[in-house]
Structure 1
Amino acid sequence: MSNTLPLAMLIELAQNKTDEASRRLGQLQRAQVGAAEKLEMLIRYRQEYCDQLQSQMQDGVSSSRWRNFQHFIGTLDGAIEQQRAVAGQADSRLARGRSDWQQNKRRLSSFDTLAERARQQQVQLLNKREQRGNDEHAARQFQLRMRAAAE
């Protein structure tokens, strides 16, 4: 029984770490989704702006408007590249968080397996003791009957 107390403590600590890893994983997933959505929004906005200019070019566009467009698209492309980097970092953090969660989950599972084995050993030990007690009782009863029959 003394071995189960430290094991119970290890299981509790492992459960706490797994729970914390689960919370972090949720946060990382939300951050990754947010970064990906923002990137998609920027790409969509760029495409819409290019489509808008394309339709305006059919009627003719002044050189200043063309320069403004090129400048704005350059700025937008820079923002898209920055957001791609942010999204890539979010993907990497999510992968590390997923790996951390899996590691904690495996550790908890290992401790649970050890605890189950300890419980099974304890049950087997109790069953053996009970069987031994029953066998001893049956042997005494048999001896008493034999003595009574001999008298």
Structure 2
Amino acid sequence: MAGEGRAARLAPVVDMAEKNEKAAAQRLGHFQGQVNLATSKLGDLENFRGEYQAQWVERGSQGVSGQWLRNYQNFLGQLETAVGQQRQSLQWHENNLNKARETWQQAYARVEGLRKLVQRYADEARQLEDKREQKLMDELSQRLPRQEIN
């Protein structure tokens, strides 16, 4: 049964491909978590910046000192820098996620291709065995004496 032998010989290759695919899926999950975290941090910073700017409107209507205005502008500048850095961090994590997704897709496609090949080999072996059995049954039926039904 050559088909079964071929399928059995592929088993270690399929196992290794499945392990690679699982590892790629775990990396994909890790990077998705990093993107989620970076997105959350960016949202928090942007919300804080919005709240801080709202203080300007509230406080500014009451009049502010030059020192308060300088402090406000300095802190707002620091917030803008932090938001920009977090956007860069998010972009970096998104790039890693995209690479991890591509790696996983390739690993998944390899596993699926190998599984289909193993299935094809198993199907071929089964068909060969079915043909052998049918041939054997035909030969046996030709050898057996025929009984006539009255």
What's the TM-score once normalised by structure 2's chain length?
0.92
**1:4-59: CA deviations, max 9, x gaps?**
23311111111101111111111100000000110111011001000012101111
Q: % of aligned pairs identical?
A: 33
> Tell me, which stretches of 5 or more residues in structure 2 are unaligned?
none
1:110-149 to structure 2, matched below 5 A, reads: 110-141=113-144, 144-145=145-146
Q: CA deviation at 1:114?
A: 0.2
Map Cα deviations across residues 47-73 of structure 1 (whole Å, 9 max, x no partner). Answer: 100001210111101000000000001
Unaligned runs of 5+ in 1: 147-151
Aligned to 1:45: 48
Aligned to 2:110: 107
TM-superposition CA deviations, 1:80-123 (whole Å, max 9, x none): 11100000011111111111111111000000000110010010
Distance in 1 between residues matched to 2:91 and 2:24, nearest whole Å: 21
Residue 2 (structure 1) aligns with: 5
- How far the C-alpha of 1:3 sits from its partner, in A, is 1.8
1:65 is aligned to 68
Instruction: Give the 3 Å change call, closer, same or farther, for CA 145–5 of structure 1 in structure 2.
Output: closer
Find the residue that maps to 1:3 and give its secondary structure: helix
Counterpart AA for 1:10: V
Q: After the TM superposition, which residues 73-84 of structure 1 pair with which residues of structure 2 at under 5 Å, given as runs?
A: 73-84=76-87
4+ runs deviating over 2 angstroms: none
Larger radius of gyration: 1
Aligned residue-pair number: 144
Q: Which has the higher contact order (CA 8 A, sep 6+)?
A: 2
Secondary structure at the aligned position of 1:2 is classed as: helix
Q: Quick one: which amino acid aligns to residue 100 of structure 2?
A: G
Give RMSD over aligned pairs: 1.2
1: CA distance between counterparts of 2:124 and 2:98? Answer: 39
